[in-house]
Amino acid sequence: MSVPTIPSFFEKDHRRLDALFENFQNLKQQDFSEAQSFFKEFKQGLEKHILWEEEILFPFFEKKSGISSGPTEVMKQEHSAILKALQAIHQKVAQRDLQTGAEEKELFEILMKHNLKEENVLYPMIETEASPMEKKEIFKAMDEIHEKRYSG
């Protein structure tokens, strides 16, 4: 099986998550249960995506490039803000509270800018740093994290 590029794999996951969030937003007034399950999938997927970045992708880049206080540090700070906004929506959704507009707007604004920075700057830098063998190892480690934390 051929190994995808880092930018193409992670960009695809950004778009997949965007679509799940959009489904939640579009459905929450009509079918709350359906919307709720889209939100659940979005939340799990986004948390997993952030874990891939913080535990595998960014440490690889920091070690390989010797740059640990630059772009990855900014991305990690943004992840905290993203997770905070995600949690705020989650708490309301768990109580079937539909008034999540302000929290959604906040999350959307941070996330869109964040994703663009990763796609335009960080992922291409990582792609340049990683040999084909290292990329294979990155994807393998991502699969293993997935099994460990999300199989049950």
Instruction: Give residues in contact with Fe ion (CB under 5 A).
Output: 53, 118
Distance CA 71, CA 73 (A): 5
Nearer to Fe ion, 28 or 115 (CB): 115
CB of residue 14 vs Fe ion: minimum separation in angstroms? 6
CB of residue 106 vs Fe ion: minimum separation in angstroms? 16
Distance CA 30, CA 25 (A): 10
Residue pair 10/123 in contact (Cβ under 8 Å)? The answer is yes
Nearer to Fe ion, 35 or 75 (CB): 75
CB of residue 63 vs Fe ion: minimum separation in angstroms? 18
Nearer to Fe ion, 53 or 103 (CB): 53
Distance CA 116, CA 101 (A): 22
